[in-house]
Amino acid sequence: MHLVLASASPARLSTLRSAGVHPTVVVSGVDEDAVLAAARERFGGLDPVDAVLVLAQAKAEDVARRVEGEEATADMLGAQVADAVVVGCDSMLELDGEILGKPADADDAVARWQAMRGRAAVLHTGHWIVDLRDDARGGTGATLGATSSTTVHFADLDDDEIAAYVATGEPLHVAGAFTIDGLGGPYVERVEGDHHGVVGLSLPLLRELLGEIEVPFRALRG
C-alpha cells in the first residue's frame, strides 16, 4: 500500500512522515483560478467548504492521471503504482465570509493580519483521494473527498509584530498567511477542531476516507 501526495507542501509531507507514512510527492499542475472559475460557472457560487474540495479533487485527479500514464509510472512510482492511493489537499481561510488563500505580496499579508488579529477565523482544508490500486489488490477505482474545518483564534498582534512576522517571508507561502507549526505558532492562541487540518492535512479525516475504500491507516506505514 503506497500513498502519493499531490502537494508540494512541506507541512503536509512532515505531518504524514510524523505519522509513519512516507509518500511519494507528485505536484499537480492544475490552474487553481481556472478550476474555481469553471466550478462557479457550472454550480454557481461556491462556499469555502466546497471551494477547497473542488481544488483538492482537481489536484488529486490530475496527479492520478499522470501516475497512471506509462512514462509517469516508470519515473514516479515504478511497480508501486499497482498499490497506490493518491491524496490531494487544498486550504483556505474564511474570515467574515471571505475566502483567503495565499497572500499576493507582503502588503497583502500585513493587511490580512491587521484584519485577523484578536479574532477567530475558520481554516478549511479539502481532502480528496483516488484509488489506483489494481482489482487484484482490492482496488475500488473510487474518487471521493471531504473537508476539514477548524476554528483558529489569533493573538492580538501590534503592527510591529505583524511587520516582523511578514518580514520572515513565511506568511507569503501559506493559506491564510499563517502557520501553526512554524514561525506563526506563537500568534495562534487556540484552535477548535483538528489541529492537523490547520497544518494542511487532517490525519483523522484521511483515515476516515481510507476507511471508505476499506484501507486501514496502518497499511500506509512501512
Show which residues are catalytic: 90
Per-residue cell: 200: 494542511
